[in-house]
Amino acid sequence: MFINGEWREAKDGGAFDSINPASGEVIDQVPDGSAADAVMAIDAAAAAYKDWSSSTAYQRSDYLYRAHALMMENLEALAAVMTREQGKPIQAARNEVKYGADFLIWYAEEAKRVYGRTIPSARPDQRFIVLRQPVGVVGAITPWNYPISMITRKAAPALAAGCAIVLKPAEATPLCARAVFEIFEKAGLPAGVVNLVTAADPRPIGETLLQDARVRKLTFTGSTGVGKMLAREASHDLKRVSLELGGHAPFIVCKDADPVHAAKGLSLVKFLNTGQACISPNRIFVHVSQMDPFLNELRSRVAGLKAGSGFDAGVRIGPLVNAAALEKVDRQVRDAVDKGAELAAGGHRLTEGGLDRGFFYAPTLPIYVAPDMRIYREETFGPVAPVIPYDDDADVLAMANDTNYGLASYVYTRDLSKAMWFFEGLRFGIVGINDINPTAASAPFGGMKESGMGREGAVEGLGEYLETKLGGFSIGTGV
């Protein structure tokens, strides 16, 4: 763990294994932190916060520029750690490292743009001044599916704002977190400004972050159930909370769309990270007139997806994170088939060629999926693309919005008016119109409804770590 500028073992000496999900092999051991370790990290952050929060924006910016340069210099090593520990293909890992580095340089620039303002008063002897100041110590909890970029997406704006941070990474990817904090250390960040606590059981660390009044902000990316619990517990001392939670993204192929282009886009975004992404399409609504050409192209693309170790050439499908994830995906597929869905491809665990040592599931296309099927309602987090035919635009908009989630959505159409109609009508925080990658460090990322609260990225992401302070000055009217 990295606490107060030093690498250290857990206070009680415990450790746990990091596992390669493609082979089941142990990669390394990392400290198994406890509540006592979390308290030490909060102590360090609270002590460092005073000087860090009073440093200039230009000073904080310099550290983030250094971290960005170091991350890019170490791109190949960081990507290799990610592929080994998380399982995604090496090119996807490289892309994630670049994406993670983007947040560092974006907020290196935005740190210098935390502006206040003056407000006119109705009283001649009064002046109003508004300041934006850091919220305080931040507790951050990050997921395993994007184990490097989700760290920088939280840490970069927090540091730019002047906050100190305590991070608890996903128990499945602690080595990725360690690699990022080695970058922070090399960048020369002052002791205590960034702190890392790894743990096999996230609950004691999370409870400590929630219960310690010195932690004034909690940021979490993960499941909706856990996010709701954290929001409830954070309310006891009114901690600021930002949550990026689950998704159940619709992907709509309109009557006027190019079905081949849409199928290409769907295959790229659906099977990215083996479907283990909160913005992954989970319900593919295809106009009845487009079903045949769309499915023909999609089947062809799915047939060409190679599964295996992310280090092997041509691999596009990596392992799922663990056995429980594998079982969940298969359970949803079996339920859909039992209730009348047809399998156009896949529908089974992959075991040939040594894949049985990992957690691999075949890219799967259930078609004619209906609302009574679990896969229609539940987030899958796997390489399954359920296809649902539709006939009327008003109906498909209602079906797309018929979910408690509201993170990402996608529409393929060549009609500008229809594109705007869907953009305004979809109850999702992100809408990709003929665009499968509507995200960037410069763009606000986040969802509506049970997909979370707050935004990451862009100027909105910086605002999540700032308090607004008003000063009212009575200055008199004389000379």
| In the chain, where the domains are located | 2-245+447-471, 249-433
Average pLDDT, integer, range 454-477? 95
Helix axes 57-73 and 90-110, enclosed angle (nearest 10): 160
Average pLDDT, integer, range 308-315? 96
Q: Alpha-carbon distance 208 to 137, whole Å?
A: 13
Nearest CA among 185, 177, 232 for reference residue 453:
232
Residue 479: pLDDT above 60?
A: no
Per cent of the chain over pLDDT 70 is 99
Using left for φ > 0, alpha for ψ between -120 and 50, and beta otherwise, residue 279 falls in: alpha
Cα 103–chain centre separation: 13
Tell me the backbone φ, ψ of residue 401, rounded to 5 degrees. Answer: -80, -5
Residue 478: pLDDT above 90?
A: no
Q: What angle do CA 361, 362, 368 make, to 5 degrees?
A: 115
Residue type at position 204: P
Q: Alpha-carbon distance 281 to 452, whole Å?
A: 17
User: Is-contact 205 171, C-beta < 8 A?
Assistant: no
The end-to-end CA distance of the chain, in Å, is: 59
Tokens 């975004």 sit on residue: 269
Which residues are CB-contacts of 394 (< 8 A; sequence separation ≥ 6)?
A: none
Q: Alpha-carbon distance 441 to 154, whole Å?
A: 11
Average pLDDT, integer, range 133-152? 98
pLDDT per position as a tens digit, 366-385: 999 999 999 999 999 999 99
Tokens 């047809």 sit on residue: 342
Would you state the pLDDT for residue 410? 98
Mean per-residue pLDDT of the chain: 97
Query: What band does 477 get if pLDDT is binned at 50, 70 and 90?
Result: low
Residue 93: pLDDT above 70?
A: yes
Query: What band does 22 get if pLDDT is binned at 50, 70 and 90?
Result: very high
Would you state the pLDDT for residue 104? 98
Average pLDDT, integer, range 289-293? 98
Nearest CA among 377, 349, 379 for reference residue 362:
349
Q: Alpha-carbon distance 259 to 122, whole Å?
A: 60
User: Is-contact 191 40, C-beta < 8 A?
Assistant: no
Q: What angle do CA 216, 220, 226 make, to 5 degrees?
A: 110
The correct answer on CATH 3.40.605.10 for the domain covering 2-245+447-471 is yes
Kindly state the tokens that stand for 40. Answer: 């030490």
Would you state the pLDDT for residue 476? 81
Helix axes 149-161 and 57-73, enclosed angle (nearest 10): 160
Average pLDDT, integer, range 303-314? 96
Average pLDDT, integer, range 94-102? 98
Residues that are catalytic: 244, 278
Would you state the pLDDT for residue 187? 98
Fold classification of 249-433 is Aldehyde Dehydrogenase; Chain A, domain 2 (3.40.309)
Would you state the pLDDT for residue 1? 97
Query: What band does 28 get if pLDDT is binned at 50, 70 and 90?
Result: very high
Q: Alpha-carbon distance 149 to 341, whole Å?
A: 36
User: How many residues are there in the chain?
Assistant: 479
Would you state the pLDDT for residue 45? 98
Average pLDDT, integer, range 297-309? 97
* Three state DSSP letters for the chain: CEECCEECCCCCCCEEEEECCCCCCEEEEEECCCHHHHHHHHHHHHHHHHHHHHCCHHHHHHHHHHHHHHHHHCHHHHHHHHHHHHCCCHHHHHHHHHHHHHHHHHHHHHHHHCCCEEECCCCCCEEEEEEEEECCEEEEECCCCCCCHHHHHHHHHHHHHCCCEEEECCCCCHHHHHHHHHHHHHCCCCCCCEEECCCCCHHHHHHHHHHCCCEEEEEEECCHHHHHHHHHHHHHHCCEEEEECCCCEEEEECCCCCHHHHHHHHHHHHCHHHHCCCCCEEEEEEEHHHHHHHHHHHHHHHHCCEECCCCCCCEEECCCCCHHHHHHHHHHHHHHHHCCCEEEECCCECCHHHHHHCCCECCEEEECCCCCCHHHHCCCCCCECCEEEECCHHHHHHHHHCCCCCCEEEEECCCHHHHHHHHHHCCCCEEEECCCCCCCCCCCECCCHHHEECCECHHHHHHCCEEEEEEEEECCCCC
Which residues partner with 195 through β-bridges? 166
Q: Do domains 2-245+447-471 and 249-433 have the same CATH topology?
A: no
Q: Alpha-carbon distance 148 to 95, whole Å?
A: 11
pLDDT per position as a tens digit, 159-209: 999 999 999 999 999 999 999 999 999 999 999 999 999 999 999 999 999
Q: Strand 6-7 to strand 2-3: parallel, antiparallel, or no bridges (unpaired)?
A: antiparallel
Q: How far is the CA of 385 from the CAs of 172, 281, 388, 449, in angstroms?
A: 25, 7, 10, 23
